[in-house]
Amino acid sequence: MKLAVTAPERLHVRTVPVADPGDLIARLPHPAGQAWVRHGEGIVGWGEAARLRLPGGPDRFTRADRWLRDLFASAAIDDPVRLPGTGPVAFGSFGFDPKSPDSVLIVPRWVVGRRDGQAWLTTIGDDTDPLALVHPPTAPTRLTWNDGALSAPAWQQAVAAAVDRITTGALGKVVLARDLYARADEPIDARVLLSRLSGRFPGCYTFAVAGLVGATPELLIRRTGDTVESLVLAGTTARGTGPADDDARAARLAASAKDLCEHAYAAEMVRDALAPLCTELTVPERPELLRLPNVMHLASPVHGRLADHRSVLEVVAALHPTPAVCGTPTDTAMTLIRELEGMDRGRYAGPVGWVDARGDGEWGIALRCAEIDGTRARLFAGCGIVADSDPADELTEAQNKFRAMQYALEG
């Protein structure tokens, strides 16, 4: 299958400094926008100067990187701001499974950004935005909910089957996901979901790319020049009913052999993937605790310095899929996911983020998300399964992870 490309022969790009734009998400003039925002900083974009759809294949990151390099190298770029995210930017979202044909890159015609107290506007082509006067966002109403590929009992059976496979020694860990459907009376406006998510989960990366909307806590990779950063998350518990219960749950998570084992698989893989690319690499010996409004995670922040010039997409290619969203060994876990989940994840648990013409960018893992298609939303949640996983506990964890997007839809 060939690449599906929509792009002019040459981009004409202009970035200018602007006054503080305020709420970035509120700047999106219509639902079909792209976003990457955390703690009020980041970039949002709308319109399409170029789009690339990639078929499946293990080389999809390489092909995407090559296409962007060629596109941006031929562009006429006026960028006096010169910060990560200025000049031409591509928002992207890749399929989880190498066989997935859902990967996409979009270069918006208009981008508004803010970073370290500086704000900018990037335009490609004509400055006039023909879509600027579209109606304001409207919240979803009259939602109805339905199971996805597997009912709760059937998914618990899949978890039990995975545990059986693990205890035979076939693999160490596998991540199994569920999907859930919501339907509204009118088309769902992604801007409402983005606003609710960024307000409720400001420490997460709130994103929208080609209809995939969410707020992920997991930073797969950030590249700024020759430095890279990652945040490994694996091992989860729900928040408590009060401070004392919260602290007790946190203590149990920090001491849980099951969760520490799950986390170690993920942290070691990130270390092993980044070490050949870096001259310096720091991975903490023990994870710390990340508290979010609905759950707590074991977290390991990773820092490194690249040995050679590599774009952020080249580093993404080395990292995906991590044991935090697939399992270990990777190929065995991927095969078991295809066998037990009963669905195509699409872009759920795949890399999502942005890259600019310098190769800088930020990419997360598409978690706590939903795929929006007209009046329908498809939600996803996954859990890491190891030898001592309990199917009922894993179902509870998945239900906790659904709550972020249920809140975004229901308010």
Q: What is the pLDDT along the chain (411 residues), one digit of tens a residue?
A: 456 667 667 899 999 999 999 999 999 998 889 999 999 999 999 999 999 999 888 899 999 999 999 999 999 999 999 999 999 999 999 999 999 988 999 999 999 999 999 999 999 987 776 556 567 888 999 999 999 999 999 999 999 999 999 999 999 999 999 999 999 999 999 999 999 999 999 999 999 999 999 999 989 999 999 999 999 988 888 888 889 998 999 899 999 998 898 888 888 989 999 999 999 999 999 999 999 888 889 999 999 999 999 999 999 999 999 888 999 999 999 999 999 999 999 999 999 999 999 999 999 999 999 999 999 999 999 999 999 999 999 999 999 999 999 999 998
User: Annotated catalytic, 41?
Assistant: no
The gap from C-alpha 291 to its chain's centroid, in whole angstroms, comes to 18
Q: Which of 218, 314, 341, 362 is catalytic?
A: 218
pLDDT on residue 167: 95
Q: Quickly count helices (H) and strands (E) in the chain.
A: 8, 24
Residues 28-47: b if buried by 16+ CB within 10 A, e if exposed: bbbbbbbbbbbeebbbbbbb
Instruction: Give the separation between CA 98 and CA 57, rounded to whole angstroms.
Output: 5
Spatial neighbors of 100 by CB under 8 A, at least 6 apart, are 56, 344, 345, 346, 347, 350
The answer to whether the CB of 229 falls within 8 A of the CB of 280 is no
Class of domain 4-126+145-410: alpha beta
Q: Which of 99, 173, 268, 394 is catalytic?
A: 173
Instruction: Give the separation between CA 330 and CA 328, rounded to whole angstroms.
Output: 5
The encoded tokens of residue 199 equal: 């307000």
pLDDT on residue 131: 57
Tell me which residue of 209, 276, 265 sits closest to 233, measured CA to CA: 265
Residues 327-361: b if buried by 16+ CB within 10 A, e if exposed: bbeeebbbebbeebbebbbbbbbbbbbbbbbbbbb
User: Annotated catalytic, 173?
Assistant: yes
The encoded tokens of residue 279 equal: 């001259």
pLDDT on residue 132: 62
Residue with tokens 């082509």, as numbered in its chain: 125
pLDDT on residue 261: 86
The one-letter amino acid code at 311 reads S
The encoded tokens of residue 286 equal: 């023990």
Alpha helices in 152-301 (DSSP H): 152-167, 190-200, 243-255, 257-274
The encoded tokens of residue 17 equal: 């400094």
